[in-house]
Amino acid sequence: MQTFSDLDTPSRILLGPGPSMAHPRVLRAMAQPLVGHLDPKFLELMAEIQTMLRLVFQTENELTIPMSGTGSAAMEASVCNFIEPGDEIIIGVNGYFGERLCDMAGRYGAVVRRIEKPWGQVFTPAEVEAELQQKPAKIVALVHAETSTGALQPMEGMGQLAHQHGALLLIDTVTSLGGVPVKIDEWGVDIAYSGTQKCLSCPPGLSPLTISPRAREVLHRRKSPVKNWYLDLTMIERYWGTGTRMYHHTAPISMNYALREALRLVVEEGLESRFARHRRLAEMLWNGLESLGFEMHVPAEHRLPPLTTPRLPAGLENEAQIRRQLLDIYNIEIAGGLGQLGGQVWRIGLMGYSARPENVLLLLSALKELM
Ligand SMILES: *Cc1c(COP(=O)(O)O)cnc(C)c1O
């Protein structure tokens, strides 16, 4: 008989594009005994999660919930609940996740209208408006924090613009929520999704989602049923709503414990101090990388603190080997470039509990040693 040893995972320092390190308090919360998904104690916890999620999303949206599944689950929910076959959606494609949105929207029968920018650049309101003036659309979708490029998309004015043209604004905040300001109500965002595994210091497994009253009306006016049963918000809103809780699927209990603790940590730290911490440590990383001879792929004004993309210096042929040594010798994970930036950049994440000065110093000294 084959035997299996005790699970023994290394304590990695996770400085890649996700997952980032889970806070010890979050891991502890996950070890709590299970309760039923309709237990009064669990219902209480659900309400607390919703209250704290609204705080972190800076919104009053009633329909603010964690979807079951990783970031891609809430991403797909953001598309499948609002798209009916033939609906037009304008998607900003300036990285890998814009591409994924196009893929998802196409599968639900949307007419996808791409606006494109080179990877690492961002869209101006004028560029979005030009496309809306060509022809109206039901949804405008933008990636707030493009983890494949390290660019932060400015959102000021985008909601108003979309609304003037009768469209909903959908944004991806997977790598921004809890790391940089996400102002759902102030920006006029109608649909926003995130994930637990990036700046929230929590393992992958749930994906926060917030829906404006305007978008909720669009959802309720659908002519056809949502094409994805598991992600159908018309059913899920009855489980997370204020009325009688209707069973839809069993909530991932332990992941909700984890998210509650992760959100409590955000509230304790305070949003502003948390954003300042992410920025301070990113600047420390940028300066350190520059003194090692790296140039950053994204200009400073649009650079994303939680995810840095240093360009690989010319002549550096063993980049994968250096990453392997970082892992084997120093226990540090960073990632290579994705898609068209493959072989051109590294992706270094400083998200949530990973964003600590000791990690930045260790990475910089390890890189100095290896290069
Ligand atoms: C990580 C990520 C996702 C997908 O999240 P998963 O947890 O991998 O499913 C979506 N969008 C962006 C911008 C991301 O960084």
**Pocket of ligand 1, candidates 20, 67, 70: which has the most ligand atoms within 8 Å of its Cβ, to mutate?**
70
**Identity of the amino acid at 160:** Q
pLDDT tens digits, 174-221: 999 999 999 999 999 999 999 999 999 999 999 999 999 999 999 999
* Residue 200 · residue 259 · CB < 8 Å: yes
Task: Kindly list the protein residues whose Cβ atom lies closer than 6 A to any atom of ligand 1.
Answer: 18, 70-72, 75, 97, 143, 145, 147, 172, 174-175, 195, 197, 204
Of 66-75, 196-205, 230-239, 244-253, give the lowest mean pLDDT range: 244-253
Task: With a cut of 90, say whether residue 319 has pLDDT above it.
Answer: yes
pLDDT tens digits, 9-48: 999 999 999 999 999 999 999 999 999 999 999 999 999 9
Listed residues 267, 302, 331: the one ending a domain: 267
**179 Cβ neighbours under 8 A, 6+ residues apart:** 145, 198, 199, 274, 275, 278, 305, 306, 351, 352, 355
Nearest in space to 96 (alpha carbons), one of 172, 147, 171, 151: 147
Q: Which residue has the least CA distance to atom 5 on ligand 1?
A: 71
Q: Which residue has the least CA distance to atom 6 on ligand 1?
A: 71
Task: With a cut of 90, say whether residue 61 has pLDDT above it.
Answer: yes
Q: Residue 168's pLDDT is what?
A: 98
Mark whether 109 and 247 lie in a shared domain.
yes
Q: Residue 245's pLDDT is what?
A: 86
Q: Which residue has the least CA distance to atom 3 on ligand 1?
A: 71
Ligand 1 nearest-atom number relative to CA 197: 7
Q: Residue 214's pLDDT is what?
A: 98
The domain in which residue 284 lies consists of 13-18+270-370
Q: Would 4 be classed as within a structural domain?
A: no
Mark whether 42 and 84 lie in a shared domain.
yes
CA 39 to ligand 1 center in whole angstroms: 31
C-alpha Rg value of the chain to the nearest Å: 21
Task: Average the pLDDT over 82-92 and give the result.
Answer: 98
Mark whether 276 and 222 lie in a shared domain.
no
Listed residues 225, 245, 267: the one ending a domain: 267
Residue 314's pLDDT band (cuts 50, 70, 90): confident
Task: With a cut of 90, say whether residue 328 has pLDDT above it.
Answer: yes
Listed residues 236, 252, 267: the one ending a domain: 267
Mark whether 230 and 329 lie in a shared domain.
no
Task: Average the pLDDT over 311-329 and give the result.
Answer: 93
Mark whether 237 and 324 lie in a shared domain.
no
pLDDT tens digits, 141-166: 999 999 999 999 999 999 999 999 99
Residue 29 burial (C-beta neighbours within 10 Å; 0-12, 13-18, 19+): buried
Mark whether 260 and 280 lie in a shared domain.
no
Of 136-145, 201-210, 290-299, 315-324, give the lowest mean pLDDT range: 315-324
Task: With a cut of 90, say whether residue 1 has pLDDT above it.
Answer: no
Mark whether 199 and 247 lie in a shared domain.
yes
Mark whether 237 and 298 lie in a shared domain.
no
The structure tokens 């120093």 sit at 330
Nearest in space to 354 (alpha carbons), one of 302, 295, 308, 293: 308
**Pocket of ligand 1, candidates 76, 79, 93, 97: which has the most ligand atoms within 8 Å of its Cβ, to mutate?**
97
CA 369 to ligand 1 center in whole angstroms: 32
CA 144 to ligand 1 center in whole angstroms: 12
Mark whether 114 and 31 lie in a shared domain.
yes
